[in-house]
């Protein structure tokens, strides 16, 4: 981050704005709305600034001095904004403020800004500020406009309701974690629904009932969220996955979870890596199962974040079996599995009425150095075969499929790190695939797709990085 996002309390504080044009008027209005006492320095002012000075809502807040800047005016100021159309004047203001260690903003000059005034969306006590770091104010305003369609005005009333009952909830639930869980359930449940629908009285009655009926012990119960993180692209996460990722106290994740997905986890959550890869396990599966159990028994909300879908070659069933045996509550959130995600981003339909009416998922992971698959079931007409974790056993896979009747020229593709910026797709035949892998050296995770549908890649490939 280039700037630390903060919200300053400038109410009744002293602020200085230098300049009287349109840009200065916008800064002036923002400070006045925040309750600041503003001194405006400008020999002349424009119509937009005059309108702000005449606004009865800001009566007594703004004092206009029709004179040029002098460092003496910086005395006891909380912050300074230079918004003239003269770069030399702005530079003088900037240097004078810096010498006095007063935060300063030079309009349209990010290099000379200690702080930035973002584009503000206001919903009562709820404020959302958007900034592009001073690079594109127009982009910030467009993002704010988009947020306005997503955040209805009633959120301001919802914020006021929460503020009104904050002390009552604090007295009822003494632990910080209990209060956080309580408010999360309130803001995602019927109280929020009633308020957003305009049923203010019903929302307040419901909140009072929840405060009195919810036992503190209920808010100390641990729970596990087994969540599929998809193949890499964070845009493929489900809404439920994102919501639970924002509630977690501790997160156990594997190597297939992309950094972009991890960045969406609640910032305060503890992140614990439990990745596994071929021939090297950072944590054995039995250890992972016990870690989930132990942290849930401590009353934590535990997020088990797994690449792809947790129930498709993800060993998710083993993890929740341990939890079920100990009566630990859990939720399972499916994710976009690698077969679906990577094939889609590679432009390879897994089924197509002209080429394939069935699709089979198998794992190519070696067991005791060998592949143990039902080869005859894989060599069927008009069928797509998707092989997970198949790189190490690729030579044997190719040989066995041909030995059991698959044509040597059957189209096949390797999709490396599908749906991410590192995606690469190689198309060949089942016979030539081992040599291609030696030559190109694909890295894990790489998915293998076998079938006539692979020949559609050249026509349907849409994703490029």
| CA pseudo-torsion sign 405, 407, 410, 412 | positive
**Tokens (6 digits) for 290:** 């016990």
User: Rounded distance, CA 168 to CA 85, Å?
Assistant: 52
Beta-bridged to residue 225, according to DSSP, are 303, 331
Do β-strands 104-106 and 119-123 pair in parallel, antiparallel, or remain unpaired? unpaired
Q: Was 190 annotated as part of a binding site?
A: no
User: Rounded distance, CA 334 to CA 309, Å?
Assistant: 5
Q: Was 70 annotated as part of a binding site?
A: no
Assess whether 254 carries a catalytic annotation. yes
17 burial (CB, 10 Å; 0-12 / 13-18 / 19+) is buried
Q: Was 231 annotated as part of a binding site?
A: yes
Q: For residue 407, how far is the Cα from the chain centroid?
A: 45
User: Rounded distance, CA 403 to CA 380, Å?
Assistant: 13
Q: Of 233, 249, 254, 300, which one is the catalytic site residue?
A: 254
Assess whether 114 carries a catalytic annotation. no
Neighbour count for residue 416 (Cβ, 10 Å): 21
**Tokens (6 digits) for 393:** 């056993």
Closest CA to 293 of 325, 262, 269, 265: 325
Q: Was 2 annotated as part of a binding site?
A: no
Q: Was 312 annotated as part of a binding site?
A: yes
**Tokens (6 digits) for 39:** 């001194």
User: Rounded distance, CA 359 to CA 8, Å?
Assistant: 58
Q: Was 23 annotated as part of a binding site?
A: yes
Q: Was 389 annotated as part of a binding site?
A: yes
Supply φ then ψ for residue 85, to 5 degrees: -95, 15
Q: Was 418 annotated as part of a binding site?
A: yes
Q: Was 412 annotated as part of a binding site?
A: no
Q: Was 309 annotated as part of a binding site?
A: yes
Do β-strands 250-253 and 301-306 pair in parallel, antiparallel, or remain unpaired? parallel
User: Rounded distance, CA 442 to CA 424, Å?
Assistant: 9
Q: Was 338 annotated as part of a binding site?
A: yes
User: Rounded distance, CA 121 to CA 126, Å?
Assistant: 8
Do β-strands 446-450 and 383-388 pair in parallel, antiparallel, or remain unpaired? antiparallel
Whose tokens are 């909140």? That residue is 207
**Tokens (6 digits) for 185:** 């359930």
Whose tokens are 């394939």? That residue is 356
User: Rounded distance, CA 308 to CA 463, Å?
Assistant: 19
Q: Of 98, 109, 114, 276, which one is the catalytic site residue?
A: 276
**Tokens (6 digits) for 446:** 């790489």
User: Rounded distance, CA 252 to CA 234, Å?
Assistant: 17
User: Rounded distance, CA 236 to CA 264, Å?
Assistant: 12
Annotated binding site for S-adenosyl-L-methionine: 231, 307-309, 312, 337-338, 389, 418
State the catalytic residues: 254, 276
Residues belonging to the binding site for NAD(+) are: 22-23, 43-44
Residue positions in the annotated binding site? 22-23, 43-44, 231, 307-309, 312, 337-338, 389, 418
């Amino acid at each position: 981050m280039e700037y630390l996002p903060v919200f300053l309390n400038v109410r009744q504080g002293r602020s200085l704005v230098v300049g009287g044009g349109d840009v200065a008027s916008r800064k002036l209005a923002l400070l006045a709305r925040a309750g600041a006492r503003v001194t405006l320095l400008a020999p002349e002012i424009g119509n937009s600034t005059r309108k702000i000075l005449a606004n009865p809502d800001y009566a007594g807040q703004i004092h206009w001095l029709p004179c040029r800047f002098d460092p003496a005016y910086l005395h006891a100021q909380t912050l300074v904004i230079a918004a003239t159309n003269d770069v030399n004047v702005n530079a003088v203001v900037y240097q004078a403020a810096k010498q006095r260690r007063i935060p300063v903003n030079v309009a349209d000059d990010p290099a000379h800004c200690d702080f930035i005034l973002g584009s503000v969306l206001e919903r009562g006590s709820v404020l959302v500020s958007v900034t592009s770091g001073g690079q594109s104010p127009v982009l910030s305003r467009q993002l704010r406009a988009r947020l306005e369609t997503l955040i209805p005005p009633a959120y301001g009333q919802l914020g006021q309701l929460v503020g009104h009952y904050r002390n009552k909830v604090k007295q009822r639930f003494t632990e910080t974690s209990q209060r956080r869980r309580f408010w999360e359930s309130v803001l995602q449940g019927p109280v929020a629904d009633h308020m957003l629908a305009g049923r203010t009285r019903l929302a307040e009655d419901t909140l009072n009932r929840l405060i009195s009926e919810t036992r503190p012990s209920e808010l100390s119960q641990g729970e596990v969220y087994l969540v599929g993180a998809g193949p890499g692209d964070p845009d493929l996460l489900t809404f439920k996955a994102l919501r639970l990722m924002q509630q977690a106290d501790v997160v156990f994740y594997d190597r297939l979870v992309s950094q972009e997905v991890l960045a969406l986890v609640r910032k305060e959550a503890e992140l614990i890596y439990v990745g596994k890869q071929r021939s090297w396990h950072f944590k054995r599966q039995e250890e992972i199962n016990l870690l989930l159990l132990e942290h849930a028994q401590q009353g934590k909300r535990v997020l088990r974040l797994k690449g792809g879908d947790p129930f498709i070659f993800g060993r998710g069933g083993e993890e929740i079996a341990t939890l079920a045996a100990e009566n630990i509550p859990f939720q399972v959130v499916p994710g976009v599995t690698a077969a679906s995600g990577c094939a889609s981003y590679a432009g390879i339909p897994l089924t197509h009425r002209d080429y394939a009416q069935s699709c089979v998922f198998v794992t190519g992971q070696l067991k005791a150095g060998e592949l143990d698959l039902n080869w005859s079931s894989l060599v069927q007409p008009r069928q797509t075969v998707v092989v997970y974790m198949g790189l190490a056993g690729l030579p044997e896979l190719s040989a066995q499929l041909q030995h059991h009747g698959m044509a040597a020229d059957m189209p096949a593709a390797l999709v490396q790190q599908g749906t991410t910026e590192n995606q690469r797709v190689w198309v060949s035949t089942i016979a030539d695939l081992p040599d291609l892998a030696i030559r190109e050296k694909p890295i894990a995770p790489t998915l293998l797709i076998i079938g006539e549908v692979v020949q559609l890649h050249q026509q349907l490939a849409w994703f490029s990085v």
